[in-house]
Amino acid sequence: MTTYNPPLKDIQFTLNEVANYPAIAALPGYEDATPDLIEAVLEEGGKFASRVLAPLNQIGDHEGAKWHDGEVTTPPGFKEAYRQFSENGWNGVGCETEFGGQGLPKLIGAVLQEMWKTANMGFSLGPLLTTGAVEALMLSGTEDLKHKYLPNMVSGKWTGTMNLTEPQAGSDLGLIRTKAVPQADGSYKISGQKIFITYGEHDLAENIIHLVLARTPTAPEGTRGISMFIVPKFLVNDDGSLGERNDVRCVSIEHKLGIHASPTCVLAYGDNGGATGYLVGQENRGLEYMFIMMNGARFAVGLEGISMAEGAYQKALAYAKERVQGRDIAGGKASVAIIKHPDVRRMLMLMKSQIEAMRSLAYYAGASLDLALKHPDEAERKKHQAFVDLMIPVVKGWSTETGIQLASLGVQIHGGMGYIEETGAAQYWRDSRIATIYEGTTGIQANDLLFRKIIRENGSTLRTVIGEMHHTISELSQQPGPDFAVIREALDRGVQAIMKAGAFFASTIMKDIKAVAAGAEPFLELMGIVAGGWQLARGAMAAQAKINAGETDAFYKAKIATTRFYADHVLSRADGLAYTVTNGAAGTLALADDDF
Amino acid sequence: MTTYNPPLKDIQFTLNEVANYPAIAALPGYEDATPDLIEAVLEEGGKFASRVLAPLNQIGDHEGAKWHDGEVTTPPGFKEAYRQFSENGWNGVGCETEFGGQGLPKLIGAVLQEMWKTANMGFSLGPLLTTGAVEALMLSGTEDLKHKYLPNMVSGKWTGTMNLTEPQAGSDLGLIRTKAVPQADGSYKISGQKIFITYGEHDLAENIIHLVLARTPTAPEGTRGISMFIVPKFLVNDDGSLGERNDVRCVSIEHKLGIHASPTCVLAYGDNGGATGYLVGQENRGLEYMFIMMNGARFAVGLEGISMAEGAYQKALAYAKERVQGRDIAGGKASVAIIKHPDVRRMLMLMKSQIEAMRSLAYYAGASLDLALKHPDEAERKKHQAFVDLMIPVVKGWSTETGIQLASLGVQIHGGMGYIEETGAAQYWRDSRIATIYEGTTGIQANDLLFRKIIRENGSTLRTVIGEMHHTISELSQQPGPDFAVIREALDRGVQAIMKAGAFFASTIMKDIKAVAAGAEPFLELMGIVAGGWQLARGAMAAQAKINAGETDAFYKAKIATTRFYADHVLSRADGLAYTVTNGAAGTLALADDDF
C-alpha cells in the first residue's frame, strides 16, 4: 500500500518564506485566505490525500481503468473517493466563488494538487482536467454557457475534458481535422476522432463536458482555423436536467506504461449523424483560448514532476532507514542501515535537494500567477504575468525531466526490491514518465521558452529575472559561514552560464535559427537548475534568518545544508550546459537524415 | 512486433578499428577465428537475433513467464527459439572446445550477446546465466564435476543458474544463511531460501544446474564462510542419465517492472529433508570463485545498457523519419518528418553518439579480456587483466546508467505514442532499468572501481590508462579539421578532470574515507564519459584514416561528426562531475539521519 506523509513542514516553509504567501493573502479577493486558514486547509487536504487517495494508488495501478463496450470502469474505490473529494469541496478549491468554488489563490490550488498527485496521480488527473475545462469556459464562454455548465463542473457533479489530439495532430494542432458544421438552431454537428483524451469516459460522474477543438466548414487552414466547442456526453436541458445521450463514444482506452487508473480514451464523435456541440467564444480562436488555459495545465503537469519525486523519495527514505546491509565504510563490524552508506545518502540528497528546488520555483511562480491576476497595480500584474510566462515552460519542462530522474533514484535505492512492482517504487517512475510528454513535450517547452518567451521580446523579462538573481547573489554575500559562500559562488556561476547562453542566442538568431533551436533544450535545463537554485538559496537565507532569530529546529540548518549540496551537485552542471548550448549545434546538425 | 536490424557495420568497424580484432585473432588458440570467419558468424548471429529472437520480444513482455504449482512456463515461442538457439551452437560460442564449445574469443561472445540482448533481453538472460555457471565450473570444478555437467550445459541441453541472494543478503553476501551439511558420501544437504534467481525454473531444458552459495556447519561468519555448491534440479546418474528430482522447488516468481519473459524465482532448498549438492572447489572459497566469474557477468550486464539503447534508438529513429508533424523551423509551409526538428535530432545524436561510445569502450575492454587470457607474454596478460579489472565496473555502471537515459529518450522521441505499450519503446526503458541493479548496483560498481581497483594499488593502472589517453590526445593533434580540434580539447579537459578527481582521492583517503566514498559514483560517471570519449576518438581517427585512403562512404564522416557531438554534449559534463567529486562530500554527509 502506498503511504504518503504530506510534507507539510516544507510546504508551509516554502509557501511562506519562498513564495511569500502573506503577500498573496493580502491581494484583493483573497482576504479570507489568511495564512492560518490556509494552514488548516492544507492540513485537511493532506489528510484527504494520505488517508483516502494514497491507499488507492497501487490498486489503481494494478487494476487500471477498464473498458467494456463503450463504458469505462475506474478501479475499485475510485468512485467513492471521488464522491468524497467532491463533497468535501476539493474539486472547486481554485474556482471562482460565483459558480460555487472556494476562490482560493491559485498557489494554494497548486499545493493541493501537489498532494493529490503524490498520493495518487491517476486519480488526480480527473479533477485536473475538469479544472482546465472550467478555466477555459470562464475565460471564453458566454454567460449562458457558464451558467449552464460551470456550477456542476465546479462542484464535481460533472467532469470536464480537453479534446485536442488526433492521430495525425499531436504537437502540431494545425493538422486537426475534426469537423463542426453549423446548424439552424445555432448549435454545431461535430464529427471526427480524438485520441489521448484523459478521463474521456468514466463512471465517476453523471455527465462529462468535453471541450473539443474542431474546424468549421469555412475555417482557414492550419492553426488559425480551429474553434472550440462544448460537447456534453449527455445534452443538458434548459432546466439543467440531463437530456439525450450525445453522439460521442469511447471506442477504446490505451494500454499505457503508467497512470493506469486514468483512462486515456479514443473518442469517436458523430458516428451516428454528428454530436451536438456549442461554440465557445469566437470562431477560429479556439487555439488561442486553449493556449491561455494551457499555462495552468502546464504548470500543473510541472507539479507532477515534484509529486512523483516526492512520493519516490518518501518510499526510498523509509527503505534506506530500514534495510540493513553492509558495514559502515568508516569502520565497525555491525551491519548498518543503508542510509549510512555515502552513496545512498548522495542519492537521497539528490532527491531531497532537487525536490525542494523544484517546489520552491513552482510555488514562487504560483505566487506570481496570483499576483498577475489580482494585484491592484497594472504594472505589477504585467510584470508578474511576464515572469509566469517565462517560468511556466521551465517549471513544466525541468520539473518533469527531473521528476523522472529522481523517481529512478528511488528505484535504485531499493536495489532489487525496486524492480519488483509490489514495492511501489517502480510505479512512481512509470507514472512520472508521461509528464515530459503531455501538455507539450520538453522540446516544445524549450522552444516556447526560447522563442516565444525570450527571443520574441528580446530577452527583456529574462534580463529582469537575471537582475533579481543578482540581487539574491548580493544578499548571499551577507550570510555567515562557508555553506553560503559556496552557494553564492555556484549561483553566480549559474547566472553567468545563463548570460553566456543568452549572448549566444542573441548573436546567432538572425544568422542561424537552427543552431539556436539546437540549444533550446539544454538551455531549458540550465534555466531550471539555476532558477531552482536561486529559489532554494532564498529559502536558505530565510532559514538562516530563523536561526539568527533563535530557532533551534534542525529543519532550518538542514535547509542550508541541502542548498549547499544542490550547489555542489546540481548547479555544478551549469557550465557544461552553457558550453553545450553555445558549441553544440554543429554536432547536432551535421548528419544527413540517412547517416543516422 | 519488435524489428531489429543488427548494426553490423558499426559492430564490424568497432571490432576491427577500435578493438583491433585482428590482434585477437592472432592469439594462440584463436587462430581459426579469422576476421572473415567472424564476419560470417556475426552475420548469422544477426539473422538469428532479428528473425528468431526479436519477433518474440514483445510477446515475451506481454505474456511473461507464468508460474503454476512450482512449474514455470516461458512465453509462447520461447521453447522453440531456445531449441534452435542451442542446436545452432549459439549457446556454447564462447565455451572451451574441450566440452563442446566453439572456443571463440570472449570479444565475439560479447558482440553476439549484444545482439541477443537487443533483440530480446528476456530471452538472453537464460543463456547468459548458463554461461556464467559454465565459467564458474571451468574455473573451480573438479574434472569429475566438469565432465559430468559441462557438456550438457555448453550444448544448452541443460541450463545453469547463480544462487546468491537471500532476503536478508543482497549486496551484502556475508549475511547468507543457506546451510550445507556434509553427508557420508561426500555430498551435502542444502537447505535455505534463495530469491531473485534468474531462470531458476523454466520449461526450456530438461535439467537446471544451480550453483548455490551456502555455509557449512563449521564455516566462519561473514564472507569468509561461504562455499559454492552444484545443486541440479534432477540428480545426474553416473551414466549421465537423469535421476531423482532434487529437493529444490520454485515457490513463486516475481511480478517485475520489466524483463517479464525472464522468470525471477524464489527457490526453496530442502523443504523435504535437504537438496543434494556437491561442493565446487574448496570449502569457504565460494565467494572468491563467484567474484572471478562475476567479472564476466558484470561485463555482460554492461552490454545490456548498450543493447537497450540500441533497440530504443532503432525504434525512435524509424519513428522520427516517418512521423510528420510541424514545419521546418528554418522556413517552409510543408509539414515535415520530426527528424528535421533540431531537438529531435539532438536526442537522436545523444543516443547514437553514446551508444557508439559505450560499444567502443565495451569492445575495447572485451579485447583486453581475451588478451589477458591468451596473450603469450605474461607481462602483457597482466597488463590487460589490470585494464579489464579497472574497466569492468565502468562498462557495467556507466553503460547501464546511460542505457536507461537513452531508452528514456527513445520514449520521448515517440511523444504520446511512446507511453503506449503497444509501441514497444517503453519496453526498452522498463527492461533497461534492471541493469543498474543486478550483478551489483551502480553504487557497488563505483566502490569497486574506486577502492578495489584504484586506491588499493595506488592508482597505478589508472595512471597507465591516463598515459594512453594522453597518447590519443597527441594523435588527435595530428588530425585535420575543426572537429578533431574540438574533440582533442574536450578529451584533454576530460582527462584533466579525471586527474583532478584522482588527486582529491589521493589526498583525502587517509583523512576522510567517507568523503572519498561520497565521490565514487560521480567519479564512475566521469570515467565512463571520458573513457567512452577516448575510444570514440580512436574510432574517429580510424575513420579519418579510411577517408585519407580514399573511402567515400558517408559512414566514416558520420563517425567523426558523431564524436564531435559527443565532445560538445557529453564530454562537456566532465568538469562539473570533477567539481562534484572534489567538493560534493560536505553536502552529501551533512545531515543527520533524522533530518532527511
Question: What are the tens digits of pLDDT across the range B107-143?
Answer: 999 999 999 999 999 999 999 999 999 999 998 999 9
The complex scores an ipTM of: 0.98
Looking at B141-282, list the stretches that DSSP marks H as alpha helix, in order from N- to C-terminal side: 143-155
Contact (Cβ atoms closer than 8 angstroms) between residue A540 and residue A560: yes
- How far is the C-alpha of A45 from the C-alpha of B455, rounded, in Å? 52
pTM over 0.90: yes
| Architecture per CATH, B136-284 | Beta Barrel (2.40)
**Amino acid identity, residue B442?**
T
**Amino acid identity, residue B546?**
K
- Other beta carbons less than 10 A from residue A324's beta carbon: 14
Residue B63 catalytic? no
* B481 Rama class: left (phi>0) / alpha (psi -120 to 50) / beta: left
Residue B138 burial (C-beta neighbours within 10 Å; 0-12, 13-18, 19+):
middle
Q: What is the mean pLDDT of chain B?
A: 97
CB proximity list for B493: less than 8 A, separation 6 or greater: B571, B574, B575
Buried b (16+ CB within 10 A) or exposed e, A192-214: bbbbbbbbbbbebbebbbbbbbb
Q: Write down the pLDDT at residue A339.
A: 98
For residue B593, list chain A residues with Cβ-Cβ distance below 8 A: 321, 337, 339-340
Contact (Cβ atoms closer than 8 angstroms) between residue B381 and residue B372: yes
Q: Do A325 and B446 touch (CB under 8 A)?
A: no
3-state secondary structure of B286: helix
Residue in chain A nearest B521 by alpha carbon: A343
Q: Write down the pLDDT at residue B416.
A: 97
**Amino acid identity, residue B99?**
F
State the average pLDDT over residues B173-181.
Answer: 96
Q: Write down the pLDDT at residue B293.
A: 80
State the average pLDDT over residues B62-68.
Answer: 98
Q: Do B585 and A342 touch (CB under 8 A)?
A: yes
Q: Do B321 and A593 touch (CB under 8 A)?
A: yes
- How far is the C-alpha of A234 from the C-alpha of A212, rounded, in Å? 15
- How far is the C-alpha of A167 from the C-alpha of A115, rounded, in Å? 33
Between chain A and chain B, the number of residue pairs with CB atoms below 8 A apart is 282
Q: Do A587 and B580 touch (CB under 8 A)?
A: no
**DSSP-assigned letter for residue B175:** G
Q: Provide the chain B residues 172-191 that lie in CB contact (below 8 A) with chain A.
A: 172, 175
Q: Which single residue is written with the C-alpha cell 558482440?
A: B111
Strand residue runs (E) in A224-342: 227-232, 234-236, 242-245, 248-253, 264-269, 275-280, 324-327, 335-337
Interchain contact A62–B (C-beta under 8 A): no
CB proximity list for B288: less than 8 A, separation 6 or greater: none
Average pLDDT by stretches of 10, chain A with 596 residues: 89 98 97 95 98 98 98 98 97 91 95 98 97 92 95 97 95 94 98 98 98 97 95 96 97 98 98 96 94 88 98 98 96 94 98 98 98 97 97 98 98 98 98 97 98 96 98 98 97 98 98 98 98 98 98 97 98 98 98 96
- How far is the C-alpha of B497 from the C-alpha of B493, rounded, in Å? 6
Q: Do A345 and B589 touch (CB under 8 A)?
A: yes
As a dihedral over the C-alpha atoms of residue A354, residue A357, residue A360, residue A362, rounded to 10 degrees, the angle is -70
Strands B275-280 and B227-232: antiparallel
Q: Do A580 and B588 touch (CB under 8 A)?
A: no
pLDDT digit string, tens, across residues A207-246: 999 999 999 999 999 999 999 999 999 999 999 999 999 9
CA quadruple B171, B172, B178, B182: dihedral sign: positive
Q: Do B419 and A433 touch (CB under 8 A)?
A: yes
- The proportion of chain B whose per-residue pLDDT surpasses 90, expressed as a percent, equals 97
State the average pLDDT over residues B44-58.
Answer: 98
Q: Write down the pLDDT at residue A123.
A: 98
Interchain contact A400–B (C-beta under 8 A): no
Q: Provide the chain B residues 326-345 that lie in CB contact (below 8 A) with chain A.
A: 326, 329-330, 335, 337, 339-345
For residue A349, list chain B residues with Cβ-Cβ distance below 8 A: 587-588, 591
Cell readout for A562 is 541541502
Whole-number CA gyration radius for chain A: 24
- Active-site residue, from B439, B468, B521, B551: B439
Please provide the DSSP assignment of A578-590 as one string: HHHHHH-HHHHH-
Q: How far is B91 from chain A (nearest CA, A)?
A: 27
Q: Do B564 and A586 touch (CB under 8 A)?
A: yes
Q: How far is B254 from chain A (nearest CA, A)?
A: 7
CB proximity list for B251: less than 8 A, separation 6 or greater: B70, B193, B265, B266, B267, B268
For residue B562, list chain A residues with Cβ-Cβ distance below 8 A: 587, 591
**Amino acid identity, residue B362?**
A
For residue B196, list chain A residues with Cβ-Cβ distance below 8 A: 416
Provide the CA B438 distance to its chain's centre, in angstroms.
Answer: 10
Residue A335 burial (C-beta neighbours within 10 Å; 0-12, 13-18, 19+):
middle
- How far is the C-alpha of B65 from the C-alpha of B67, rounded, in Å? 7
Q: Do B412 and A442 touch (CB under 8 A)?
A: yes
Residue B294: pLDDT band with limits 50, 70, 90: confident
Interchain contact A555–B (C-beta under 8 A): yes
**Amino acid identity, residue A595?**
D
Interchain contact A487–B (C-beta under 8 A): no
Q: How far is B505 from chain A (nearest CA, A)?
A: 15
Buried b (16+ CB within 10 A) or exposed e, A378-392: eeebebbbbbbbbbb
Q: How far is B295 from chain A (nearest CA, A)?
A: 19
Q: Write down the pLDDT at residue A96.
A: 86
Q: Write down the pLDDT at residue B326.
A: 94
CATH of domain A156-284: 2.40.110.20
pLDDT digit string, tens, across residues B468-506: 999 999 999 999 999 999 999 999 999 999 999 999 999
Cell readout for B58 is 514483445
Q: Write down the pLDDT at residue B51.
A: 98
Residue B237 burial (C-beta neighbours within 10 Å; 0-12, 13-18, 19+):
exposed
For residue B421, list chain A residues with Cβ-Cβ distance below 8 A: 255-257
Interchain contact A590–B (C-beta under 8 A): yes
Residue B292: pLDDT band with limits 50, 70, 90: confident
Cell readout for B183 is 553427508
Q: What are the two backbone dihedrals, phi and then psi, of residue B334, each rounded to the nearest 5 degrees? A: -75, 145
Q: Write down the pLDDT at residue A295.
A: 85
Active-site positions of A read 439
Residue in chain A nearest B264 by alpha carbon: A420
Delimit the domains of chain B by residue range: 136-284, 455-587
Residue B94: pLDDT band with limits 50, 70, 90: confident
3-state secondary structure of B290: helix
- How far is the C-alpha of A353 from the C-alpha of A547, rounded, in Å? 20
Which of B175, B419, B585 lies at the smallest CB-CB distance from A257?
A: B419
For residue A595, list chain B residues with Cβ-Cβ distance below 8 A: 554-555, 557-558, 561
